[in-house]
Amino acid sequence: MTPTLHVFSAAAWADAVAAALIDRLLAQPRLRLCLPTGETPAPLYAALASADAGVWSQATVVLLDDYVGLSADDPAAGGPRLRREIVDHVRPAAFIEIDQSGDLDAAVRRHDEAARDLDLAIVGLGLNGHIGFNEPGSTAASPTRVVDLHRRSREAAAGYGAEEAPERGITIGLARLLEARELWLLVTGARKAEILRAALEGPETPDVPASFLRRHPNLRVMADDAAASLLTT
Ligand code: F6R
């Protein structure tokens, strides 16, 4: 399938994506969506946090992925970070994070259930081509699971301020993400240009798990100029 590519200037990107998401919520107030954390969506969340929160009152937000074993006050912990950056501001009807309080296998099963029937999956793109923590080696059939984090994901966690570099993560699987009715891939910055080109124009391969997103019939790529600069189409 051919994704729909939306390219904005760096200055316009966050407001443009926020406006698209607000439109989506207005059209479908009971939207079930999953959201990532990280540097890419941070300005989008800031834009949404300062907009009218009323549109979120019936929506359900599901966390895309999280590190295993970080304390709730670790700056990199995904659930608390998503609360700080957006959930606490827009107050959706429900926020489903990854409850790691008991057995991890049970946490995976619960989260996989929560990730069924998503209307919209919003994901970022790792420098290594990962989607969520579907690290290189993942396929379109990869389930929701505990994963050993790739070196670059551990480095990214350190960049997010993790007190101890986490070794493992829990992620919604690519298989489940591909079942969402709609998928938005958020990509910004020149450092993502090469991997975005590989994901959209290179071969479909487990070396670049994002390349499997092209199988989705309703994929929108929301990029800024710099990230899109190496695309040929
Ligand atoms: C985070 C996540 C990751 C990031 C990706 C890009 O929840 O799922 O896949 O989306 O690593 O991270 P940033 O946006 O920090 O470049």
pLDDT tens, position by position, 91-148: 999 999 999 988 999 999 999 999 999 999 999 999 999 999 999 999 999 999 999 9
pLDDT at 159: 92
Which listed residue (66, 74, 135, 224) is catalytic?
135
Q: Count of alpha carbons within 13 Å of 58, Cβ hemisphere only? A: 9
Active site residue 52: no
Active site residue 134: no
- Tell me phi and psi for residue 181, to 5 degrees: -65, -30
Residues, the chain? 233
pLDDT at 53: 85
Q: Count of alpha carbons within 13 Å of 48, Cβ hemisphere only? A: 29
- Tell me phi and psi for residue 133, to 5 degrees: -110, 35
**pLDDT of 153 over the 90 cut:** yes
For ligand 1, atom 8, name the residue with the nearest CA.
132
For ligand 1, atom 2, name the residue with the nearest CA.
132
Cα(132) to centroid(ligand 1), Å? 7
Taking CA atoms, 130 is separated from 83, 137, 138, 148, 149, in Å, by 23, 9, 8, 13, 10
Confidence at 222, pLDDT banded by 50, 70, 90: very high
Taking CA atoms, 207 is separated from 13, 29, 86, 175, in Å, by 28, 37, 32, 16
Bridge partners of residue 223, in order along the sequence = 7, 187
Cα(65) to centroid(ligand 1), Å? 9
Looking at residue 230, its amino acid is: L
In this structure, the strands spanning 120-124 and 182-187 are parallel
Which listed residue (66, 128, 216, 224) is catalytic?
128
pLDDT tens digits, one per residue of 167-215: 999 999 999 999 999 999 999 999 999 999 999 999 999 999 999 999 9
Structure-block tokens of residue 104: 């991890």
Percent of the chain with pLDDT over 90: 95
Residues 139, 105 contacting (CB under 8 angstroms): no
C-alpha–C-alpha distance, residues 214 and 218, integer Å: 9
Cα(54) to centroid(ligand 1), Å? 27
C-alpha–C-alpha distance, residues 178 and 10, integer Å: 28
2-25: average pLDDT: 97
Residues 6+ apart with CB under 8 A from 222: 6, 8, 13, 16, 17, 20, 184, 185, 186, 187
What distance separates the 2 farthest-apart alpha carbons in the chain?
Answer: 48
pLDDT at 164: 85
Q: Residues enclosing ligand 1, CB less than 6 A?
A: 36-40, 64-65, 78, 124-126, 130, 132, 156
Cα(30) to centroid(ligand 1), Å? 25
